[in-house]
Amino acid sequence: MMWWLLMQSAQANTFMPPAATDIAERVNSLYGFLLWASFISCVLVIGGFIYFAFKYKRRSENDKTAYISHNNFLEFLWSFVPFLIFMAVFVWGWAIYSQMRTFPEDALEVHVQAQKWSWSFEYKNGRKSSGELLIPVNTPIKLVMTSSDVLHSFYVPAFRAKQDVVPGRYTALWFKPKYKGEYQIFCTEYCGEQHSGMLAKLKVVSREEFDDWLANDPYKGLAMEEVGQKIYTARCAICHHTNDQKLVGPGFGGLFGREETLQGGEKVMVDENYLRESIMNPNAKIVAGYPSGQMPTFAGQLSEQEITGVIEYIKTLK
């Protein structure tokens, strides 16, 4: 295991990110073949140009170009050999793609919700998490994904796995991680101002650790404001500072108890009811200076405990 980690670390710095699935290793092999085939072809073609330029260059004013007839065998060869390479790459790539799109029947399903600018995950037993996808090692995982707003794209470099996440429909992706560890999830479809910050962690653990995590309350022993802080870090930090500085949305520092001016000139006090409505129906009251439709609704995505926790956490920020 230590040797594998050292090799993958070196590889990540020089060639490709660590390959953590069988499919990723097959993709690496195909990519390496294409790279070497392209390099050899480049050397042969450019080298041939240079060689013949010197071999047949004009050496005096009286030199005349010799008559050179075509060669049927060579013409056939330089057409047929690239055709064979192309067909080999096509079959090789098709076999990898077919494996990527054939979902194992015993795969563990996780539902993925994408929205500007966060990832949330829901398991079959109802357990939810935000910003972190926890899965067991050596287990096929099927992600059933949708978006609540715009087009996103789920990408894990270490798995060579990428799939568009489309509003109003489901897309799916599967992988089988071979090694325990933490891997980075990116959004690779431009989705707005904070696109580059739409990140999450994929954590691969033992089956025993996963089963224990799946069965336990994630907020056990936490005060309400601590629950809210966890939700803020996973779902809110991309758009809201903890001070009073504007990001995409207003800063939370000193927000509670403040009077805000809405579009149209109406004034409203920021209390528990206002904060709850802003979480559940963010376009009901738009503060002057902010565009409507920017914040997505969290209705159905956060439990009552989580909503209350966020409100209590905002109340602590001065």
Tell me, yes or no, whether 281 and 198 share the same domain. Answer: no
Tell me, yes or no, whether 269 and 245 share the same domain. Answer: yes
Tell me, yes or no, whether 206 and 126 share the same domain. Answer: yes
Asked whether the predicted pLDDT for residue 173 surpasses 50, the reply is yes
Q: How far is CA 286 from the centre of its chain?
A: 31
Closest CA to 30 of 88, 80, 79: 88
Is 23 inside a domain boundary?
Answer: yes
Tell me, yes or no, whether 145 and 178 share the same domain. Answer: yes
Q: How many Å apart are CA 176 and CA 101, to the nearest integer?
A: 13
Number of domains the chain contains: 3
Asked whether the predicted pLDDT for residue 24 surpasses 60, the reply is yes
Is 61 inside a domain boundary?
Answer: no
Tell me, yes or no, whether 199 and 285 share the same domain. Answer: no
Which stretch of 161-165, 174-178, 260-264 has the lowest confidence by average pLDDT? 260-264
Examine the fold and report which residue of 182, 215, 248 is the final residue of a domain before the chain moves on: 215
pLDDT, average across residues 121-141? 88
Strand ranges across the sheet with 128-130: 128-130, 118-123, 108-115, 141-147, 171-175
285-297 pLDDT, tens digit per residue, is 888 888 887 888 8
Tell me, yes or no, whether 156 and 189 share the same domain. Answer: yes
Which pTM value belongs to this model?
A: 0.70
136-167 pLDDT, tens digit per residue, is 999 999 999 999 889 999 999 999 999 999 99
Domain containing residue 252: CATH number? 1.10.760.10
